[in-house]
Amino acid sequence: MESYWILPNVKPFSPSVSRASHKAVLHGKFMWVIGGYAFNYSTFQMVLNYNLESSIWNVVPVSKGPLQRYGHTIALYQDDIYMYGGKIETNTGNVTDELWIFNIPSQTWSTKIPAVLVHGQQYAVEGHSAHIVELDSRDIVMVVIFGYSVIYGYTSTVQEYYIIVPGFQSGRSGMEEDEEDSKGRGNEWEENQEDGKGGGNEEWNKEEEDGK
């Protein structure tokens, strides 16, 4: 049997649902949609869910949380949705390195600020991808792959966030080598020196502080 598309009978359909460059994950019978670009933000909602059984969209009221953004990534681990990076939809339109976590049962946001390795660097990116994997060591890691940086342009850096031992690391040639480099280091970032983009931590820190 060949695969095919169908258009479900969605009810109700609200203008706040329309968006582009958003992200979605499945958790149980719900598809969770976070962020995105819209022409009109007057009715925009950062978090939506879609009930796969009833075909109903629901707006998720969240009192506190991240600013509107698009080009970010989300990845699901257990009952938490991890959101990284993206372009914040403000007048300045900054690309961010923020890491936010949305807890599904409580429907609340929290933010994490990972430490950075002494000679490392964290990249604020948009248009990247992110995937949660379990390493042979049983560490649970969110791997952030590539993306666009307003400072360095398109980057080939791979960054890792250790969920069990929280900390980011960006490495040279993928997960296995990064894992070996990161042993005993948790809670830290490492900069990719091979792509020639290690242009000084003082400059990076200044521009990142200005952009948040």
Sign of the four-CA dihedral 159, 169, 94, 83: positive
Query: What CATH number labels 15-189?
Result: 2.120.10.80
Q: Which two tokens stand for residue 50?
A: 């879609």
pLDDT per position as a tens digit, 21-37? 999 999 999 999 999 88
Task: Give the per-residue pLDDT at 177.
Answer: 32
- Sorted by where each begins, the domain ranges of the chain are 15-189
Count CA within 13 A, CB hemisphere, residue 173. Answer: 3
pLDDT per position as a tens digit, 58-100? 888 888 999 999 999 999 999 999 999 999 977 766 999 999 9
- Enter the pTM of the model: 0.75
